[in-house]
Amino acid sequence: MATEKMTSLLSNIAYGASPLDTITQKNPDDIVITLAIRTPMCRYQTGSLSDTPLDALVLKILEQVRLRSSLDPALVEDICLGNVRDGQAAQFGRAAALTAGFPNTTAACRVNRFCSSGLAATQNIANEIAAGSIDIGIAVGAESLSTPNTRLDRPFVDEIMNANQDARDCMQEMGQTSENVAKDFGISRQKQDAFALVSNNRAEAAQRAGWFDDEIVPITTHKDGKKIVVDRDEIRYGTTYERLSKLSPAFPEHGDRSTAGNSSQITDGAAAVLLMKRSKALELGQPIVAKYVGTAIAGVPPRIMGIGPVFAIPKLLSRYNLSLQRDIDVVEINEAFASMAVYCKDKLEIDWSKLNPRGGAIALGHPVGCTGARQIVTGLSECRRRGVKVLLTRNGRSLREKPGHNCADCPPIPHYWFSGGILVEDFHSRHGKTLEDSNDFGPCMSGMPDSVEPMQE
């Protein structure tokens, strides 16, 4: 198959096809997404999903995949669950799949690439299909941050701690790496608060306009012993620059630029993506949502791991000879911390209108194992709404928790691995205005002092 792809690529070059033409071509062996859905993102401990543990989250999202795809569940050969914090995730995923109506002939596994886990699950399923190991698979990203989990509560062994500085830096607390990025690259508190304001305002505007509706599947669950239906993200409304600027530093022992307001909201949630070859989708009458093009992985020093997109994105784009400014329509990168997001946006010169147009993890939240898959779902929905084609997603961090501290109250830190993926939206069910044209979208920089300009649209 690799030979066939190279032959096709060389043929396209010979006939003058652009790199964009090449990746948007439709071929029988394309890996395609036929369904991309997610639960609402709900607040940690007090939110609507706080009494819904990981196994229940996975069960709920897999039930929706089976029902909404109308696919014979016996045709699904593997389910890969991306999850970070739960050591029993593999067992939970398998049991949830069986309960959701998938037979025992459907295999299941768990992948933990930290905050890239949802994206890694998608990559794993796509690679299995490309290799001929399976024909159809489901990638799931899910995390219940409200559920207590085992934490890293001791240093690494002396052999590791004494090896080199990078190894020792793996013990850095969450938040410390955000402050490292802010200090090393001159990302001011004002720039971070400005970015956070945009994320919150965009998410609020998108929810008011109903743009999340085709992403989210309502979930029936229980909260405080009562049966409820959860169908909306739990977004903070009315965020202003003044309110953000008054928040105290979250990690004062490491710096004064990261706060609860410019770091990712802590949430629970799940997302799922159904994949198969284009030929199989056509054979089964499955709607083709997008074509999976490829992914790239890059690593950076642990103490500044939040800058991963600066390396992963160019690596991925160069493989396909694509330009971020010319060829990419929507970019979804994670907002674990505004310091990381601001640096990556500026360094990569990402067009502000393309970046996280519905807000990101600062506003929607960051259920660590879910976010990579959630970005796929959100980004593809935005591509449909805009009537554009090419989505670039980027995610990657790990979770390191401070011994003796309730770190579920703090945002997760970036860590080792960074991965990015390109997907081509395959059909346009809706066309609409850009976010900036929406009447529901108020002034992006509401209440911002005139001296702060870096995030103006």
Here the CATH number for the domain that contains residue 53 is: 3.40.47.10
388: left (phi over 0), alpha (psi -120 to 50) or beta: beta
**Which pLDDT score is estimated for 174?**
78
Find tokens 């709404």 and name the residue: 385
In a domain? residue 119: yes
Specify whether the CB–CB gap between 303 and 397 falls below 8 A. Answer: no
Nearest Cα neighbor of 230 from 4, 41, 457 is 41
In a domain? residue 16: no
In a domain? residue 334: yes
Q: Is the pLDDT of residue 322 over 60?
A: yes
In a domain? residue 431: no
Question: In degrees to the nearest 10, what's the CA dihedral of 256, 261, 263, 267?
Answer: 150
Higher pLDDT pick, 322 / 450: 322
pLDDT band at 395 (very low <50, low <70, confident <90, very high): low
Of the chain, the percentage scoring pLDDT greater than 70 comes to 83
Paired residues of 420 in beta bridges: 296, 394
Residues 6+ positions from 229 with CB-CB distance below 8 Å: 218, 219, 220
**Which pLDDT score is estimated for 426?**
72
Structural domain that includes position 74: 28-147+164-425
CA pair distance 29, 34, nearest whole angstrom: 14
Burial (CB count within 10 angstroms: exposed 0-12, middle 13-18, buried 19+), residue 53: middle
Tally of domains within the chain: 1
Phi, psi torsion values for 315, nearest 5 degrees:
-60, -45
pLDDT in tens, 1-24: 455 455 555 555 545 789 999 999
In a domain? residue 153: no
Mean pLDDT, the chain, integer: 87
In a domain? residue 307: yes
**Which pLDDT score is estimated for 279?**
99
In a domain? residue 1: no
CA pair distance 456, 443, nearest whole angstrom: 10
In a domain? residue 243: yes
**Can you give the C-alpha Rg of the chain in angstroms?**
21
**Which pLDDT score is estimated for 272?**
99
pLDDT band at 114 (very low <50, low <70, confident <90, very high): confident
Of the chain, the percentage scoring pLDDT greater than 90 comes to 76
- Within 78-158, strands assigned E span 78-82, 107-111, 136-143
Q: Is the pLDDT of residue 142 over 70?
A: yes
CA pair distance 45, 50, nearest whole angstrom: 5
**Which pLDDT score is estimated for 285?**
98
pLDDT in tens, 182-193: 999 999 999 999
* Residues 79-103, mean pLDDT to the nearest whole number: 96
**Which pLDDT score is estimated for 13?**
52
* Residues 51-55, mean pLDDT to the nearest whole number: 98
Q: Is the pLDDT of residue 405 over 80?
A: no
pLDDT in tens, 237-257: 999 999 999 999 999 999 999
**Which pLDDT score is estimated for 404?**
33
pLDDT in tens, 366-386: 999 999 999 999 999 999 999
Q: Is the pLDDT of residue 410 over 70?
A: no
